[in-house]
Structure 1
Amino acid sequence: MKTKNLLLMVGLGLLFSCQDMKKNDDPKVLEQLIISYFDGVKDKDLDKMNSVTTEDFVLFENGSVWNNDSLYNFLNQLPPYVATFSFNNIHVNIGSEYGNINYFNHMDMVLNDTIEDNYDWIESASFKKVEGEWKMNFLHSTVRQ
């Protein structure tokens, strides 16, 4: 009888300890946050940019330090533009509370309905859960050679 009780207790202990293990979220969640962030950049939508980032979000862009407000102010100084972003070579690492992503970012842009240009960057971002929701807290962008 003691052996049965011991086995039952060990089995229940293993069962409950497995319940405590947190499952990592789907990596697509972080990819979608990057897309949403750049939709905000494309649309000059500060609310959209803020909705997917932490309050202390920081962007390192070619030697400059930005936040959403400073980026938004810069975007509003540009002439009217239409931008399309595309992402490839995406690598995601995600845990239960923290994650990171690195990727190539390509932008096609038309300024003043006439000037066409494009840009390529190598970017990496880190994410953390805030009140159970994924948010980007850091983005690093470097011009791709």
Structure 2
Amino acid sequence: MKSIIVLIAVCFVLFFNCSHEVENPELLKKVLINYFDGIKTQDLDELNRLTTEDFVLFENGLIWTNDSLVRENPKMKSVKRHWQFDFKSVEINGDYGDIVYYNHGSFVINDSIYREIDWLESATFKKVNDQWKLKFLHSTVRK
């Protein structure tokens, strides 16, 4: 009888651990960082691979899509960009996740003009076909 109880307990623990896999917050951070790398290289295919079909970016009153970031901004190809992220919170709840972070950007334009900008940003993610995708990004310049 004792061995049956132990067997049931072991099966319960194995079932619980397998069916409730804990998601790694680093996965969301990686998607976000890769997205900004796609902006840096103006790689529309990469941006689309990392986002949901209905992805949108709100930035200081403007609404952007992946297309508008790349196709409607040809002058941005000459800008060298670098971002540093200071993650404040990362939360995953089932197939949805969100990140709140500070973003420090530095930009070189035409090899001469240098500019730095700081933002407060938040991003939402959705798991699509077992892959985390960026669904929404909100960005506000910090004063």
TM-score bracket relative to the smaller structure: 0.7 to 0.9
- Aligned 1:76-95 pairs, distance under 5 A: 76-78=74-76, 80-95=78-93
Q: Which runs of 5+ in 2 are unaligned?
A: none
Counterparts of 2:84 and 2:7 in 1: how far apart (Å)? 54
Q: Which amino acid aligns with 1:132?
A: D
Q: Which amino acid aligns with 1:67?
A: T
Counterparts of 1:125 and 1:103 in 2: how far apart (Å)? 9
Residue 35 of structure 2 is aligned to residue 28 of structure 1: no
Q: What is the TM-score of this pair, normalised by structure 2? A: 0.86
Q: What is the TM-score of this pair, normalised by structure 1? A: 0.85
Question: Which protein shows a greater Rg?
Answer: 1
Counterparts of 1:127 and 1:97 in 2: how far apart (Å)? 8
Of 63, 66, 73, the residue aligned with 1:65 is: 63
Count of aligned pairs between the two proteins: 143
- Aligned 1:3-42 pairs, distance under 5 A: 11=9, 14-15=12-13, 18-19=16-17, 21-42=19-40
Q: Contact between 2:87 and 2:99, CA under 8 Å: does it hold in 1?
A: no
Deviates more, 1:64-73 or 1:123-132: 64-73
What's the C-alpha RMSD, in Å, of the aligned pairs? 2.3
